[in-house]
A and B are shown apart, each in its own frame.
Chain A
Amino acid sequence: MAAAIYSLFIINKSGGLIFYKDYGSTGRMDTNDSLRLASLWHSMHAISQQLSPTVGCSGIELLQADTFDLHCFQSLTGTKFFVVCEPGTQHMENLLKLIYELYTDYVLKNPFYEMEMPIRCELFDINLSQATQKDRVALLGR
C-alpha cells in the first residue's frame, strides 16, 4: 500500500513548533496555522496524560479519524514528532523513530543549531526527504 504522508511536525518540550513539513496539497497551512495547531496538539497530548485511566500513561500515540491518521512519538526529553497521514498507512511508528534518529544526528549534532529553536538544517531536510519517499517507508516494515 502506498504510504501517503500529509505532513510532519516536530514540537519542542515547551510546545513550540520547531519543524513543519507539508507533503500534500490538501490541507496546506500557513505558518500561523501550523504554529497554532502545534500548540493545540501539545496541550491535547498533555491533557490526555492526565485523563488517562492507566497509570504512567505517556500520552496519545495514535489518533484515527475518517480522513487521516495522526501518529505521535514523544521522546523521553519531551520533544514530540507527529505525522498526519492517510488512514491505514503502515509503519508510521518506525518512520517516527527514524526521524528521531535523523533529528539526533543532523540537528542536535550541528553545533550551530540552538536548542529548542526552529530547525534550519539542510542536511536534516535532505535526509528527511529520502526517508519519507514511499518506497523507503515500505522497507521500514522489515
Chain B
Amino acid sequence: MAPLAPRSGDAVFANVERVNAELFTLTYGAIVRQLLTDLEEVEEVNKQLDQMGYNIGIRLIDEFLAKSNVSRCVDFKETADVIAKVGLKMFLGVTASVTNWDVDGTSCSLVLEDNPLVDFVELPDTCQGLYYCNILSGVIRGALEMVSMKTEVTWVRDMLRGDDAYELRLKLLKQVPEEYPYKDDE
C-alpha cells in the first residue's frame, strides 16, 4: 500500500469538526478567570496553564499525526514548519510564520498574527505578569515531547501586553530517541 500523502493545513482544517469560536474564547476565558480566583498568584496561573497545555499536547499529537498523515520530520526546521503551517491551522484555524532561526537551527520564533484565544480580551493592571495564552506553549511542548523532542517554549511578544504580535520562541533542548536496553558495548 502506498503511504498516504501528507495533507496541507487547509485540507485537514476543512475536514475536522468545528466549534463556535465564541464558545471557544469564552470557555478559555472562564478557565483563566477561575484559575486566577483559585490560585491568586499570576505566576502560579502561568505555570498551571502551561501544565494544562502539556496534558493536552501529549494527547493531541496522536490526533494530529493520525489526521494529517505527516511523515517523520527530517530536522527541527521541518518540525517548526509543520507546527506553524499544519498543526496550528488544524487546531486553531490560523497559521504562523517561522522566523529568527539561530545559527545551529535549534531555536526559532513562531509569529502568530491572529489568535482566537484572545478575541475580546484585555488584561487589567492587576494581571500584568500573566501570559494569557500560556496553554499554547504547554501544548507545543507536550506534543513535541511525545515525538522524542525536549523543547522549551516561551512567549517573546504578547499583544495583550502591548506588543504588535504574538511570538513564541521554540528551542530544541535535545532529541531523546527511545532507549532500548540493547547496547553493543555492554
Q: How far is the CB of B16 from chain A (nearest CB, A)?
A: 11
CB distance from A119 to the nearest CB of B (A): 13
The CA of A100 and the CA of B67, in the complex, are separated in Å by: 10
State whether the Cβ of A78 lies closer than 8 Å to any Cβ in chain B. Answer: yes
- Tell me if B182 and A46 are in contact (CB < 8 A): yes
A58 CA to B148 CA in the complex, in Å?
Answer: 15
| Interface locus among B23-31, B57-65, B107-115 | B57-65
Q: Is B147 an interface residue (CB 8 A)?
A: yes
Most buried by A among B58, B61, B66: B66
Q: How many residues of A contact B (CB 8 A)?
A: 22
Whether B65 pairs with A77 at a CB distance below 8 angstroms is yes
Q: For the complex, would chain B's binding face be called helix, strand, loop or mixed by DSSP majority?
A: helix
**Chain A interface helix/strand/loop/mixed:** helix
For window 59-78 of B, CB contacts with A under 8 Å fall at: 59, 61-63, 65-67, 72
Q: Which residues of A contact B72 (CB under 8 A)?
A: 58, 76
* A75: contacting residue among B65, B67, B182, CB under 8 A: B65
Please indicate which of the listed interface residues B58, B62, B147 has the most CB atoms of chain A within 10 Å of its own CB: B62
Name the residue on B nearest A113 (C-beta).
Answer: B59
Q: Does A115 contact B (CB under 8 A)?
A: yes
A50 at the interface (CB under 8 A from B): yes
How far apart are B19's CB and chain A's nearest CB, in angstroms? Answer: 14
Please classify how large the interface on chain B is, using the bins under 10, 10 to 19, 20 to 34, 35 or more.
10 to 19
Determine how close the nearest CB of chain B comes to the CB of A37; give it in whole angstroms: 18
Q: Are A13 and B65 in contact (CB under 8 A)?
A: no
Say yes or no: A104 contacts B180, CB within 8 Å. Answer: no
CB of B160 closer than 8 Å to a CB of A: no
Contacting residues of chain B (135-174) with chain A, CB-CB under 8 angstroms:
146-147
* Bound: A47/B182 CA distance, A: 8
Per-position binary interface string of chain A over residues 42-55, scored 1 when its CB falls under 8 Å from any chain B CB and 0 otherwise: 01001100100000
Contact of A100 among B66, B146, B180 (CB under 8 A): B66
Q: Which are the 8 A-B pairs with shortest beta-carbon distances?
A: A108-B59, A104-B63, A104-B62, A46-B180, A77-B146, A104-B66, A93-B1, A101-B66
A-B contact list, 13 entries, CB within 8 Å = A47-B182, A76-B65, A77-B62, A79-B62, A103-B62, A104-B66, A105-B63, A108-B62, A108-B63, A109-B59, A109-B63, A115-B58, A115-B59
